[in-house]
Structure 1
Amino acid sequence: MAVMSTSTVHRVAMISVHTSPLDQPGTGDAGGLNVYVVETARRLAKRGIEVEIFTRRTSAGLAEVAPMAPGVVVRHIDAGPYEGLSKEDLPGQLCAFAAGVMRHVAISPEGHYDLVHSHYWLSGQVGWLAADRWNVPLVHTMHTMARVKNASLAEGDRPEPSGREIGEEQVVRAARWLVANTDAEAHDLITLYDADPSRVRVVPPGVDLEVFTPGSKSAAKEGVGLPSDAEVVLFVGRIQPLKAPDVLVRAVADMLLANPDRRKRLVVPIIGGPSGSGLERPRALQQLARDLGVADVVQFVPPVSRAELAQWYRAADIVAVPSYSESFGLVVLEAQACGAPVVAAAVGGLPTAVGDAGVLVSSHDPAVWSKELAGLLDHERSRLELVDRAVPHAAGFGWEASTDALLGVYENACRGGQGDALTSMLLEDVPAAPIP
């Protein structure tokens, strides 16, 4: 039940053009951004703040307005054909999307929204226009950035286009506040996009501590259909080169080459669906597993509900996150909240998410990953030490704290305020740099 809000913010327009908060995370373009929008919107509504989320209609069967939670509605906007458009095609539909948003608000009273919060650069382009038209502040969260992704591409992956970089620059200049997930992301905004440090605020994402909780490993293994003595190395995420599931598959092959007896127990579930450039060859990872002779060990599991996902985390002996780039890495916190040790690439926001409760790997060499994974599997005491640290670490990242901090940004934006002492303290040592 919503409480009466004492905030100066009463109604927020969130914009998520390319992916709907109603979509299942783990496939297509649905991922951490979706989780972020859903969790913050729900909690803002519980504080008495109405949230309306604008997203593109992708099916004729979708209602124009879909309630998502008490105080939260999703508004589907027609912009281009319902099917057949990739994320890369959407810049050509931003005008149509913006027009649809404007038509909706034209029948609303002046001052209907207190601010606009856009997610990802495509939404930022629409949010820029909407905020200017409605004379309200624009708060923007990048989630990912082209220049960061292009600096750490997987082999064979295509770079983000220059049009995206230009669009991101424009959104950075237009937004009154930029919300970064970590200090590292704030640094990237400042050094790669020349963002004003006084307009950047670090608000770490969170984890649902009611869904993702510790539990019995043996019961979890039984619940997901795994043998009680299985050694489980779990991957959760969209299947695309950026997430590097191929690094894990190659590492598994190396592990089995070094220790053939491990094949009797090792299980490597990969939970997720093809996304991004991975859609061009949706069965490539399965073929790689066959080519390397590990198809009997690697299991491909479609995206699952959050409750079932928590069971998979509890069943895992290790959760592997080998991504080439991550603005944060919600999978890390979800796994840790369930008591699972994490081995992750030392990139982007992953060091912040992992903290001292996991292992960071400064390489994407499968041989290096093989040694790290095998070493941890062979030393139960080391794993248990990580488990002891994992749950308390994740507990420090609840969505309630994230929403409190985000609401603070909203309040400041509506008052016309600039950076506060916290922002200045976080960023005072980060020099602005020219855009390369």
Structure 2
Amino acid sequence: MRIALISMHTSPSEIPGSGDAGGMNVVVAEAARALGARGHEVVVATRATEALAAGEYQLLSDDSHGAPVTLVALTAGPPQLSKAEMPGVTSEFAVELRRLGSFDAVHAHYWLSGIAAREAWAAGGTGIAVTFHTIAAQKNANLAAGDSPEPEARLAGERLLAETSFVIAGSQSELSGVIDWYGAPRAGGSVVHPGVDTRLFSPRAQGAVGRASAGFEPLRGDRTLGVEPHRITVLGRIQPLKGQDLAVRAAGELARRDPELFAHTEWVIAGEPTPGAEGYAADLRVLADREGVLDRFRFLPAQSRADAAGLLASSTLVLVPSHSETFGLTALEAGACGVPVVAAGHTGLVEAVPHDVAGIHLGDRDPATWAAAIATLLHDDARRARLGASARAHAVSHDWRAHAAALERCYSQLAR
């Protein structure tokens, strides 16, 4: 098949956790490579920016026998545009998409890509598949304090796409959200969970060797006795939606309730603020200082795939305190590293982190609840080991080859 994957507002070549790049970038890049490895001709289309000049590039695959995967950066509007400005250039982007020719399958990622793909090809009878990654109406219903609601233009765009496109959802939660807010997709829909690179994201030896793989030394630890602090990690873009402030408040609660245990912890928040969330990122440091825990926190920039794998594998626990998640790719990657996850018990995280298999779910956002759950797991080495082993087993069942095979079935259904 000749397959187009459309990612207008952010390139899969960007580092997740920087700018507007996140789990979607990983999904697009890995799906493209996995589809190429299965012999399909894959073209990934994105918008040209100052960081990615217009032109063609190769997305290299681990499988040298697969078909080539081409990343095409198309000119649409000036290089530097905010995501809020991009609806104004979707028609221009659609013109450039049409010049790529015809495809057996077109899969748009995020609503902006869907609108452009629909304008480019739907009139010619080509069916369009869309993955929203975040549903605006669902996000607005779970809006974090200080966050801005998604605009009506996006709500209307998603509603139109749900009515006219085949919806490929990253989780049952996402598909249910589409149905609840926009109605059942008339062209059909399917759930295809993201995958994980279980070779890159894998358990590492703990202790000094394991910690060194994360690229930095622990804050403290009795080196004479070989004791290292428990590393508790939050990985992802810094924004109110991701709820990193809850992790800081939980650290403060743990420090007050169990100071001896807290003294043997270090906390890592890795990622960069999305455009417009710079104030929230700065407030996290202020909050940590007010809670009296700033000296136990590290704030790291966005991590490459290899660095993210090292950081997660070197952690004792990974926290995912998001207000909502389409799936929660970081949680699956932590599980692949054999590290239990403490997650908010809602939306796609219920599927990414099966309760008492890959970690535990928490039903509220009370910092005391999170601190108690963290303390319980830190005190229970045997339970952490059991959860780590079952988390790894769960992750191994979600590889990118299975993801690509499921996409093939969706594309064939759409073509019929």
Relative to the length of structure 2, the TM-score reads: 0.92
The number of equivalent residue pairs is 398
| Deviation, structure 1 residue 12 | 1.0
Residue-by-residue CA offset, 1:35-94 (whole Å, 9 max, x unaligned): 1101110011111111111111111762411111251111111222212x2211211121
2:168 aligned residue: 179
Query: Which whole-Å CA distance do the structure 1 matches of 2:393 and 2:381 have between them?
Result: 19
Structure 1 unaligned residues grouped into runs of 5+: 1-9, 416-436
1:367 aligns with 2:363: no
| Deviation, structure 1 residue 280 | 4.7
Residue 178 of structure 1 aligns with an amino acid whose one-letter code is V
Q: 1:99 aligns with which of 76, 95, 100?
A: 95
Query: Which whole-Å CA distance do the structure 2 matches of 1:278 and 1:378 have between them?
Result: 35
Any conservation in 2 of the 1:12–1:49 contact (CA below 8 Å)? yes
Any conservation in 1 of the 2:235–2:271 contact (CA below 8 Å)? yes
Query: Which whole-Å CA distance do the structure 1 matches of 2:5 and 2:259 have between them?
Result: 52
Name which of structure 1's ranges 372-381 and 27-36 shifts more when overlaid on structure 2: 372-381
Query: Which whole-Å CA distance do the structure 2 matches of 1:298 and 1:285 have between them?
Result: 10
Residue 73 of structure 1 aligns with an amino acid whose one-letter code is T
Map 1:198-347; keep pairs closer than 5 Å: 199-218=188-207, 219-224=209-214, 225-226=217-218, 227=221, 228-347=227-346
2:156 aligned residue: 166
Any conservation in 2 of the 1:13–1:52 contact (CA below 8 Å)? yes
Query: Which whole-Å CA distance do the structure 2 matches of 1:247 and 1:410 have between them?
Result: 40
Q: Could you say if the C-alpha distance between residues 308 and 33 of structure 1 is closer, same or farther in structure 2, counting changes exceeding 3 Å?
A: same
1:57 aligns with 2:56: no
1:188 aligned residue: 177
Query: Which whole-Å CA distance do the structure 1 matches of 2:51 and 2:359 have between them?
Result: 45
Residue 162 of structure 1 aligns with an amino acid whose one-letter code is E
2:86 aligned residue: 90
Residue 100 of structure 1 aligns with an amino acid whose one-letter code is E
| Deviation, structure 1 residue 115 | 2.0
Q: 2:147 aligns with which of 157, 164, 169?
A: 157
Query: Which whole-Å CA distance do the structure 2 matches of 1:80 and 1:217 have between them?
Result: 49
Query: Which whole-Å CA distance do the structure 2 matches of 1:56 and 1:393 have between them?
Result: 35
1:39 aligned residue: 30
Query: Which whole-Å CA distance do the structure 1 matches of 2:275 and 2:163 have between them?
Result: 27
Any conservation in 2 of the 1:115–1:131 contact (CA below 8 Å)? no
Query: Which whole-Å CA distance do the structure 1 matches of 2:274 and 2:47 have between them?
Result: 18
- SS at the partner of 1:328? coil
Q: Could you say if the C-alpha distance between residues 80 and 196 of structure 1 is closer, same or farther in structure 2, counting changes exceeding 3 Å?
A: closer
Query: Which whole-Å CA distance do the structure 2 matches of 1:282 and 1:322 have between them?
Result: 15
Residue 337 of structure 2 aligns with an amino acid whose one-letter code is C
Query: Which whole-Å CA distance do the structure 2 matches of 1:318 and 1:369 have between them?
Result: 12
1:396 aligned residue: 397
Q: Could you say if the C-alpha distance between residues 281 and 352 of structure 1 is closer, same or farther in structure 2, counting changes exceeding 3 Å?
A: closer
Name which of structure 1's ranges 365-374 and 19-28 shifts more when overlaid on structure 2: 365-374
Any conservation in 2 of the 1:15–1:116 contact (CA below 8 Å)? yes
- SS at the partner of 1:296? helix
Residue-by-residue CA offset, 1:363-403 (whole Å, 9 max, x unaligned): 11212111111111122122112112111111111111111
Query: Which whole-Å CA distance do the structure 2 matches of 1:60 and 1:331 have between them?
Result: 25
Query: Which whole-Å CA distance do the structure 2 matches of 1:383 and 1:347 have between them?
Result: 22
- SS at the partner of 1:270? strand
Residue 188 of structure 1 aligns with an amino acid whose one-letter code is G
Structure 2 unaligned residues grouped into runs of 5+: 61-66, 222-226
- SS at the partner of 2:295? coil
Relative to the length of structure 1, the TM-score reads: 0.88
- SS at the partner of 2:412? helix
1:132 aligned residue: 122
1:80 aligned residue: 77
| Deviation, structure 1 residue 96 | 1.9
Any conservation in 2 of the 1:68–1:74 contact (CA below 8 Å)? yes
Residue 389 of structure 1 aligns with an amino acid whose one-letter code is S
Residue 154 of structure 2 aligns with an amino acid whose one-letter code is R
Q: Could you say if the C-alpha distance between residues 399 and 172 of structure 1 is closer, same or farther in structure 2, counting changes exceeding 3 Å?
A: same
Query: Which whole-Å CA distance do the structure 2 matches of 1:47 and 1:223 have between them?
Result: 32
| Deviation, structure 1 residue 315 | 1.2
Query: Which whole-Å CA distance do the structure 2 matches of 1:154 and 1:378 have between them?
Result: 31
Any conservation in 2 of the 1:157–1:241 contact (CA below 8 Å)? yes
Residue-by-residue CA offset, 1:178-200 (whole Å, 9 max, x unaligned): 10122222211112111237701
Residue-by-residue CA offset, 1:132-152 (whole Å, 9 max, x unaligned): 144311011111101110111
Any conservation in 2 of the 1:67–1:74 contact (CA below 8 Å)? yes
